[in-house]
């Protein structure tokens, strides 16, 4: 990898931006200079990187011409304006918003699954949605071995996927309720403490939410296969970090649970935790917070379908689901420099 790259992190004070900066340091990404960027409101604050304090600068006044890679995670409307500007200055943008994901000209990449797609980039590479990333990492070895015709999905998504204010809201509501005081939702559409909400992102005309449709569009694009039928229900649960997913998969050829277990044990980025005993499965608290893997358990043959496989997939939505995947894309970009 290159000896020294100038890296900008856009949205540096958000939950994902902070994780990006930590991961750049932990993985010894060859950062020459780091430029944490944010809106006018957050500019002037500082972040820590390699033991030094660095001031957060204003994105709208920043010149990207000396920047090698920009990791963007400040919302779709910010990326819409500033990612093309940065790219035209010669900076390669890895964009963690949904803004460019469905653009056929822009690669949508999970390195364990379709790193080859990076080569086709023209200045912007899109990072998929958190719930899609962990799913396709776990699906890819099965897809390659026996094909996949259909997936029924139910998600159990952490509040950190909705940002720092949602994390605070879950904590605050829990405290209030445990003290016998009433709560009113502010960030979430309804009370999230001790509750579950079948609603993430906006409702679409077909009755699905945008989060659910993202899982369909993005999975088909990443696997390069629009014949896969995908049917998600996405649900927010009162968990701080770590998304979980119940995947009910139908394969094109029969595969046993044992064979799936072996495939996944050998797969990059996957950790199998699968014993038929109490605790013998991944959960967000033990495996979804501050962990880098995609953890898979409850692997079993579907009793209702000859070519069905069920599994349970857990991953840290802020790390593999966002910040880590973006940094991995950047590593791939510059590995031959």
User: In the set 29, 49, 156, 295, which binds its own copies (CB under 8 A)?
Assistant: 156
Q: Is 248 a catalytic residue?
A: no
| Catalytic hit among 91, 130, 234, 291 | 130
Chain residues 244-303 in contact with its own copies, contact rule CB under 8 A: 244, 246, 248, 257, 276-279, 281, 283-286, 297-303
| Catalytic hit among 91, 121, 243, 291 | 243
User: In the set 307, 310, 315, 326, which binds its own copies (CB under 8 A)?
Assistant: 310
Chain residues 85-144 in contact with its own copies, contact rule CB under 8 A: none
Q: Is 130 a catalytic residue?
A: yes
User: In the set 197, 263, 270, 318, which binds its own copies (CB under 8 A)?
Assistant: 197
184 sits near its own copies (criterion: CB under 8 A): no
Contacts with 19 (C-beta within 8 Å, 6 or more apart), sequence order:
318, 319, 322, 323, 324
229 sits near its own copies (criterion: CB under 8 A): yes
Nearer to its own copies, 3 or 206 (CB): 206
User: In the set 27, 145, 152, 331, which binds its own copies (CB under 8 A)?
Assistant: 152
Which residues of this chain interact with its own copies, rule CB under 8 A? 150-152, 154, 156, 170-171, 174-175, 178, 189-191, 194-199, 203-208, 216, 229-231, 233, 235, 237-240, 244, 246, 248, 257, 276-279, 281, 283-286, 297-305, 308, 310, 312
**Residues labelled catalytic:** 130, 243
């Amino acid at each position: 990898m290159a000896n020294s790259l100038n890296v900008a992190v856009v949205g540096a004070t958000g939950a994902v931006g902070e994780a990006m900066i930590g991961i750049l340091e932990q993985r010894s990404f060859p950062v020459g200079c780091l430029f944490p960027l944010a809106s006018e409101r957050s500019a002037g604050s500082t972040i820590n990187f390699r033991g030094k304090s660095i001031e957060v600068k204003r994105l709208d006044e920043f010149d990207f011409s000396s920047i090698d890679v920009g990791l963007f995670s400040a919302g779709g409307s910010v990326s819409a304006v500033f990612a093309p500007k940065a790219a035209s200055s010669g900076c390669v943008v890895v964009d963690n918003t949904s803004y460019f994901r469905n653009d056929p000209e822009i690669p949508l990449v999970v390195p364990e699954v379709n790193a080859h797609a990076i080569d086709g980039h023209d200045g912007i590479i899109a990072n998929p949605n958190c719930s899609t990333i962990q799913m396709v990492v776990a699906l890819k070895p099965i897809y390659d071995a026996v094909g996949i015709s259909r997936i029924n999905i139910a998600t159990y998504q952490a509040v950190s996927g909705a940002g720092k204010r949602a994390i605070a809201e879950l904590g605050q509501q829990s405290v209030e309720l445990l003290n016998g005081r009433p709560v009113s939702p502010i960030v979430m559409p309804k009370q999230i403490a001790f509750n579950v909400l079948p609603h993430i992102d906006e409702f679409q005309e077909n009755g699905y939410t945008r989060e659910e449709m993202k899982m369909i569009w993005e999975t088909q694009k990443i696997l390069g296969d629009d014949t896969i039928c995908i049917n998600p229900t996405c649900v927010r649960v009162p968990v701080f970090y770590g998304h979980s997913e119940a995947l009910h998969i139908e394969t094109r050829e029969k595969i046993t649970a044992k064979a799936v277990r072996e495939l996944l044990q050998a797969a990059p980025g996957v950790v199998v935790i699968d014993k038929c005993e109490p605790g013998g499965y991944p959960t967000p608290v033990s495996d979804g917070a501050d962990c880098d893997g995609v953890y898979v358990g409850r692997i079993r043959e579907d009793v209702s379908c000859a070519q069905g496989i069920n599994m349970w997939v857990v991953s840290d939505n802020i790390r593999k689901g966002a910040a880590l995947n973006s940094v991995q894309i950047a590593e791939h970009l510059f590995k031959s420099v």
